Amino acid sequence: MRVSKWLACMVVFLLAPIANTQTPLRPNILLLMAEDMSARVGAFGDSVAVTPNLDALAAQGVRYTNTFATAGVCAPSRAAHILGMHQISTGTQHMRSGSRPEGSYYSVPPENAKAYPELLRSAGYYTYTDNKLDYQFSGSLAGSGPTTIWDLEGGVVSDWDKRKQGQPFFGFISFPVTHESGVFLPLGNMPESVMHFTLQVMRWYIQDQPIPKRINPQDIVVPPYYPDTKTVRTDMARHYDNIATMDAEVGVILRQLQTAGLIDSTIVIWTTDHGDGLPRGKRELFDSGIKVPMIIRWPEAFRPEDVKSGAVDERLISFVDLAPTILSLAGVSVPANIQGHDFAASDAALNNYIYASRDRIDEHMDRQRAVRDKRYKYIRSWYPEVAGGTDLTFRDNIDMVREMRSMYESGQLNAVQQQWYQSPGEERLFDLASDPFEVHDVSSKPQYEQALQR
């Protein structure tokens, strides 16, 4: 009896390493999030953009062309993303809690709300992020939030090497170079410390890589809600230049993954925190404010069924879908209070609609809600007299913002360009199939009554 027990123990001991090698490995996951940027990427059809690294990533991965943030501004959007819950259900909807004119505060999410990297961490993942937090229940920068979410805050991209041997990692890296403030004239009204920080980050990332090609303002395609002026073209070209720099930074990161031997075990997700950091983009519920590009590069071992390299996925995806998707990819149970869906699952539920909201924006009170399907966008306003183009201290640092307001006040804008400075009314409906720029409100037209009521 003793001999048979001894033999059984030896068999278990000898076979243990074999069993371990047969256990499916959990993927590393690296989330790369540019700031303040719509789909100004070559792979998404933008002929002006200089984005060779993102274009290559898209060729290897999947482009998700109908992805939407839950807000057109960073802190509410990032709160919804990190919790997997819409900001209006967690008290994180005002922009920003830390800069409220009447006094700053930290939002207090519901007791059952957990940042999904904390759930990954408790399941054995090494979690790290860089200097950008901005969840509303934290400050904007590292060291100001709950200490349970990350193993490391304020680090660098390659901090995956600080994990234990064999431990999977989740990294979340932001790209400040594309932020709205990057369109401000250098050292104009922008605080010098902010500009110097941005330049340091740019230099650190691109290292000795060639400086990306600068965009010629004459090549810019001006949308109909902007006047076609030299100032507008110059500011938009500067935005494109910053996007090209961000693309170079992405290229450095992908090469670091390759050099570290991690490229085939890491799911890379690239997206942006909301739409363009330009007037009538950022802070708004138009697609220019909430529709974002997303690319996922799936290593062969973790690629979902029927997904092919270079594919395009046109499903409606919301930022609240990222948390359950990432948790599921890591083999972690998704809490019942998370409001999104795992879009990578073979039996993934389709979103018929996406939802977004806008509340206080800095010194201006507002409350808007939006719902969108693949054809229509409905926006409801509780402050129908509040125009999008109101004075806003931070945004007014952009040259084209000041010029456009001056042109509006002197009667130099056409009817479409004037809309942003006018009261929006209680409800608006846009037919995106015929009006992708959302400049023709059809809510009062009889032929759209059925769509409006729906």
Question: What are the catalytic residues?
Answer: 74
Q: Strands 266-272, 291-297: parallel, antiparallel or unpaired by DSSP?
A: antiparallel
Is the four-CA dihedral 266, 271, 273, 277 of positive or negative sign? Answer: positive
Q: Which residues pair with 269 in a beta bridge?
A: 31, 296
Q: Can you tell me the distance from the alpha carbon of 425 to that of 72, in angstroms, rounded to the nearest whole number?
A: 19
Q: Which residues pair with 140 in a beta bridge?
A: none
Q: Can you tell me the distance from the alpha carbon of 182 to that of 321, in angstroms, rounded to the nearest whole number?
A: 29
Q: Can you tell me the distance from the alpha carbon of 328 to that of 322, in angstroms, rounded to the nearest whole number?
A: 10
The percent of the chain in helix, strand and coil, each rounded to the nearest 5, is: 35, 15, 50
Specify the amino acid at residue 170.
F
- The token pair at 368 is 């808007």
Report yes or no: 324 and 344 within 8 Å, Cβ to Cβ.
no
Specify the amino acid at residue 25.
L
Closest residue by Cα to residue 236 from 223, 259, 217: 217
Is the four-CA dihedral 295, 69, 28, 15 of positive or negative sign? Answer: negative
Q: Can you tell me the distance from the alpha carbon of 410 to that of 322, in angstroms, rounded to the nearest whole number?
A: 45
165 contact partners, CB below 8 Å, separation of at least 6: none
